[in-house]
A = this chain, B = another copy of it.
Amino acid sequence: MKLLREKIQDEGIVLTDGVLKVDSFLNHQIDPKLMKAIGCEFARRFKENGITKIVTIESSGIAPAVMAGLELGVKVIFARKRKSLTLTNNLLVSSVYSFTKQEENTIAVSSQFLNASDKVLIIDDFLANGEAAKGLIDIVKKSGASVEGIGIVIEKSFQKGANELKELGVRVESLARIQSLKEGQVSFVEDHEDVQV
């Protein structure tokens, strides 16, 4: 997605070889117009899949997920992150390790909002090691619903998440795919199917 790649080049800050900060439009300040374009692009890529529900995770997944939900005409569920789980009643839970924060979190979705007939699109802001995505897949599968695919705003293709998800047979659609953050520069994976958007 050209608009997104340009935004990353213009405003992204490379903190280390592994960390890209996009606080000016995605992770702290949000650019609603860009979120709408992102939502429309997710909707375009998954419009043939009969999506009935979007699942994301708080907080940075919410804006792109809601815009995609608006475009696809489906509701969005955001998984809650909890350090410790006090309420287990009617919750689908999974465990997610954060490499950035070096801590284990429980993520949870209320079972009343997902059922076996749902066809779910999972959306998240970043894909790095794939821990959050795998946790969300786990939760969706526990509900009996099917995972139709994963929509990612920014994929760090040099980390293992994207490949691991594809090996699990999950369709991954990432709107910007970063090949490297070395020497403070963002370089993208060449993405021929993506040139038009």
B70 touches A28 (CB 8 A): no
Minimal beta-carbon separation of A183 from chain B (angstroms): 24
Q: Are A32 and B67 in contact (CB under 8 A)?
A: yes
**In-complex Cβ contact of A29 among B24, B33, B35, B75 (8 A):** B75
- So how many copies of this chain end up in the complex? 2
Q: Does A78 contact B (CB under 8 A)?
A: yes
A74 to B32, CA, bound (A): 8
Set B30, B59, B113: member contacting A69, Cβ < 8 A? B30
Interface string of A34-68 (1 = CB under 8 A from B): 01100000000000000000000011001100110
Query: A175 an interface residue at 8 Å Cβ cutoff?
Result: no
Bound together, the chains give a CA A70 to CA B25 distance in angstroms of 13
> Of B30, B73, B77, which one neighbours A66 at CB under 8 angstroms?
B30
Interface residue? A76 (CB, 8 A): yes
Give me the interface of A with B, judged by CB distance under 8 Å. Answer: 23-25, 28-33, 35-36, 58-59, 62-63, 66-67, 69-70, 73-78, 80, 109-110, 113
What are the 4 closest A-B residue pairs judged by CB atoms, nearest first? A32-B70, A58-B59, A32-B69, A30-B76
